[in-house]
Structure 1
Amino acid sequence: MLRITSLVKRYGDGAPVLQDLNLEVAGESIVSIIGASGAGKSTLLRCINRLVEPTSGCIELNGVELTSLKREGLRRSRRHIGMIFQGFNLVDRLTVMENVQCGRLGYIPYWRAALRRYPAEDIERAFHLMERVGIAHYANKRADELSGGERQRVGVVRALMQEPQILLADEPTASLDPVTSRQIMELLQSLADEFKLPVLINIHNVAEAKEFTRRIVGMRFGRLIFDGPPDALDADAMHRVYSGTPAEERGHVHPDILEATA
């Protein structure tokens, strides 16, 4: 269970990027976060794993209060928060296997990683997961020789190697073509079920959010504007998330919104 209470993030003297945000994500659920650019979606994910420090509020994962952790405690807890990035964040000169093993850096001594002397059980698990997502035959290939979809699958396996208690995905399909984008969303959907994982996905494609996730959270200016099942995300809710006003106040519904809410 991820529980976020009264979360605030402010940079300097500017307006808060996140404003008194409250959110709970239960186990075995897949939740998408939608909203216009600047709504605070990426900041929210980065606050959860402390890549960005919250200004105030509480973030709790399975009974552990993350916002109060320091150094070793934070390192141990980060091991259980898998992160999938829009830009893949792979080391291009390393092989697929070496990139995947980066997911074990929180578990093994530094010298093992530096010398590429990975434990046998980690190599076995990596092959199993790579086979699961269809990239086992690329184990010894350099990351910069892969397509975008293949690179993102490496990122997914790297996150799973952490033995995560939650997966965070920050625009995981934004750099991909439509066909590959759907494949990655289908993969995340199936992995959430298979590994009994809560998955929190920051996504711009509303149609994919409605098709592949079970709950949608809409953000605007750092606040939660919508929280419900895909079927409840109608044209009026879309207008409130993306324009801040109900549809009837605008007098029309944009065709793109009609298509996404169909």
Structure 2
Amino acid sequence: MLKITDLVKRYGSGGDPVLKNLDLTIEGESVVSIIGSSGAGKSTLLRCINRLVEPTSGSIVLNGTELTKLSGSNLRAARRKIGMVFQGFNLVERLTVMENVQSGRLGYISTWAAITRRYPKQDIRRAYELMERVGIAHYANTRADQLSGGERQRVGVVRALMQDPDILLADEPTASLDPKTSEQIMGLLRDLAGELKLPVLINIHNVTEAKEYTDRIVGMRYGRIIFDDLPEKLDQDAMDRIYSGSPHADRGEDPVAAQ
């Protein structure tokens, strides 16, 4: 379970916070989407969870571990359990699919094994299982720069799953893809969540895909959660509150410029 309590993120000492006393709980194998305009704080929220961005205050607890209090080796160990799928894929283009996938195990194997690419046999077997599941096993020895966008994102998904994560975060995983491929990736994330009993938290701009492929929608505006319910509850009034009007119509807050 992921439990976020009173989370605040402020850049600099004088500006408005990007995240404002935010509370959020994610349980089980649910697929949760986060929607909202640019500047709502969606990406910042995901990056606070895996500590790519340092929270200003508040609590982030994953399966009993308080992530905000960790540092050094303890933080590195905790990050192993937080898989991340990126909008821009974040692959090493000159490396093969297998080599990119195995980078998800860097937190578990020795530096020497990583440098020499002497991957443990069980990791290779697991990589082939996952690559077969997402339809890219035949590309195992193909360089990443020879793949299509959808194929690259599948590599990114497998790399994240190779961490054996307790939660999977996806930051605009379909933004660089065509509509058909976007639907395939969203369907894949939904199906994997069920198969692996894995909670998935997705930052997404496409509201139609959020409604179709996720179990729960969280709507953010100016650093606050103003909608948190089932997809069928996201009516026009909720959409207007998330995307329309002035910031003063919400909670008397000014908009923030960062996402």
Residue equivalent to 1:80: 81
Residue equivalent to 2:5: 5
> What is the TM-score when the length of structure 1 is the normalising length?
0.93
Q: CA–CA distance in 2 between the matches of 1:107 and 1:167?
A: 18
Q: CA–CA distance in 2 between the matches of 1:133 and 1:24?
A: 28
Residue equivalent to 1:259: none
Question: Deviations along 1:150-169, whole A, 9 cap, x unmatched?
Answer: 00000000000000000000
- TM alignment of 1:137-156, pairs within 5 A: 137-156=138-157
> Counterpart of 1:93 in 2: which secondary structure?
coil
Question: Deviations along 1:204-250, whole A, 9 cap, x unmatched?
Answer: 000000000010000000000100000110000000001247xxxxx
- TM alignment of 1:21-170, pairs within 5 A: 21-170=22-171
Query: Looking at both structures, which has the greater relative contact order when contacts are Cα pairs under 8 Å and sequence separation is at least 6?
Result: 2
Q: CA–CA distance in 2 between the matches of 1:219 and 1:165?
A: 24
Which runs of 5 or more residues in structure 2 are unaligned? 247-259
Residue equivalent to 1:249: none
Residue equivalent to 2:178: 177
Paired residues in the alignment total 246
Q: CA–CA distance in 1 between the matches of 2:211 and 2:119?
A: 40
Aligned AA (2:94): R
Which runs of 5 or more residues in structure 1 are unaligned? 246-262
Shift of 1:27: 1.4
> Counterpart of 2:83 in 1: which secondary structure?
strand
**Identical positions, percent:** 76
Question: Deviations along 1:94-124, whole A, 9 cap, x unmatched?
Answer: 0000000000001001111111110011001
Aligned-residue Cα RMSD (Å) equals 1.0
Runs of 4+ aligned structure 1 residues displaced above 6 Å come to: none
Question: Deviations along 1:41-91, whole A, 9 cap, x unmatched?
Answer: 000000000000000000000000000001111000000000000000000
- TM alignment of 1:177-216, pairs within 5 A: 177-216=178-217
> Counterpart of 1:83 in 2: which secondary structure?
strand
Aligned AA (1:87): G
> Counterpart of 2:6 in 1: which secondary structure?
strand
> What is the TM-score when the length of structure 2 is the normalising length?
0.94
Shift of 1:28: 0.7
Shift of 1:14: 1.2
> Counterpart of 2:188 in 1: which secondary structure?
helix
